[in-house]
Amino acid sequence: MKTKSLLSLTFYFLSFVCTFAANPSETENESRVDDANSGNITTEQMVKAVSPNAPDWALDVASRIKLHGYAHGGYYYKHSSHADADINSFETKRTLFWVDAQITPCWSFLFMHDFNSIVQEFYTDFRVTNNKALTLRLGQFKTGVTMENPWSPTSMEAIDVYSEGVTYLAGCGSDPLYGVQYGRDLGFSVRGELAKGKFAYDLEILNGQGIQNVKRDLNNKKDFVARLEYRPFTGFNIVATGQLGWGNALVAAPVFCPTVNLGDNYRRNRYSIGVDYKSKPFNVHGEFLGGKDDCTVSRGAYVTGSVRLFNNFDVVASYDFFNFNVDDKMDMHKIIAGVQYWFFKKCRFQVQYIYKSADTDYRTFFSHGKNHAVMAQMQIRFN
C-alpha cells in the first residue's frame, strides 16, 4: 500500500508540473508581489492521490495548506579594477521553500526557509475587516522600506535583484553596520487596501536589528516604517516609503561610515519615492531614495525595465546610481544589459552584462575604476 500511495503521489505531482509548464505564454507581466503572496499549490489533491479514502478532517486540513518554492543558480564572472577582487564562480544563490496555512478565513500563518542561508520569515496575519482594508501582521517579514524591497526576486529583471541603493538602505547585505538581513525584520505591521485597491498602506514598528539577532533587540529603541501606494489605473503604481530608527553597529568604522564603532547606537533613517508600470509590451520601474547613518548621508536613483521582443523573450536594461557617502564622494554608476527567456510559467534563463564605475567590499575598501561582469542564471519555481 505504501508503494502504491507513493506512486500515486509521484504521478499526481508530475501531472501537475506538466500542466503548470503547458502555458509558457502566461509568463507575461508577473505581478511584483512578495514571495509569501504569489500563488500556491494546495495539498488537498495530493492527500486524495495518496489516500482516496482519507477522512474529511484530513482533507479539510490539507485544503488550508499551500506549498511554494523556487531556486536561483548560475555563473558569475567579474573583472575588477581592484586587486584580488576578481570572481569566476558557479553559484547557487537561493533555494527557498515556504508553507502558508489558512487557519480560518481571516487568520493565517507562514513559515519560509532558505536552504542557502537561514529561516527568512515566520509571521501570522489576521484580517480584521471583511475586505482588505485592515490586516494585522506579527512576526518576521520583509519590511516596507523602498519600493523594491518587498518584491519577490522571481519577478525582478536584474540577476543582482535589487538596485545598489535598495540593497544598501533596506538591509539586504551591503550595509556592514546593519549586516546581511535580507530586507527583513521582526515586529508588528498594520496594513491594508482602500478604495477598491487604489490605495494601499503599511505601518510597521520593528526591532530595527534585522533577522540575524531575532532572540532580542540589541538596543531599547524601535524603528518606525511607513509605506503608501497609489494605483490610479491598472498597471501603474506610485510608492512612497520612509523609516525612522536606530541601528546597533555590528562592525567598527566601515569604509562608508567611519564615525560609528562596534556596538554604537546610531541614527538610521531612510526615504524613497518610486513609480512602477507594467504592461504586455514592457515593464519599467524607477526610484529616488536616500538615507542617513549617524552623520553619513547616502542617496541615489535607478530605472530598470524589460521589453518583450517576441513570445516569452525579453530584453532587460537598467541604469543605477548610488552615492554611499555624499561627503566623501563614494559614488557608483551601474549599467545592466541582458536578455531573459521564460521557458515555463515562472521559470526562466537569464544572461546579463554588468558595468560598474567603482568596486567595493562594502567594509574595508572603495575604489573608482571600470569593473565588468557577466552573469547567467536559471530560475525554477513552483507555486
> How many other CB atoms sit within 10 Å of the CB of residue 354?
21
What's the rounded Cα separation, in Å, for the pair 295 and 57? 59
Dump pLDDT digits (tens) for 126-185: 999 999 999 999 999 999 999 999 999 999 999 999 999 999 999 998 999 999 999 999
What's the predicted TM-score (pTM) here?
0.85
Type of residue at 264: D
The three-class DSSP label of residue 179 is: coil
Residue 60, classed as helix, strand or coil, is helix
Q: What are the φ and ψ backbone dihedral angles of 170, each rounded to 5 degrees?
A: -90, 0
Answer whether 376's CB lies under 8 Å from 351's CB. Answer: yes
Domain that holds residue 85: 2-382
CATH at 366: 2.40.160.10
> Tell me: the pLDDT tens digits for 217-236?
888 899 999 999 999 999 99
pLDDT tens, 8-33? Answer: 443 344 333 333 333 333 333 345 66
Cα angle 190-192-193, degrees, rounded to a multiple of 5: 160
Q: How many domains does the chain have?
A: 1
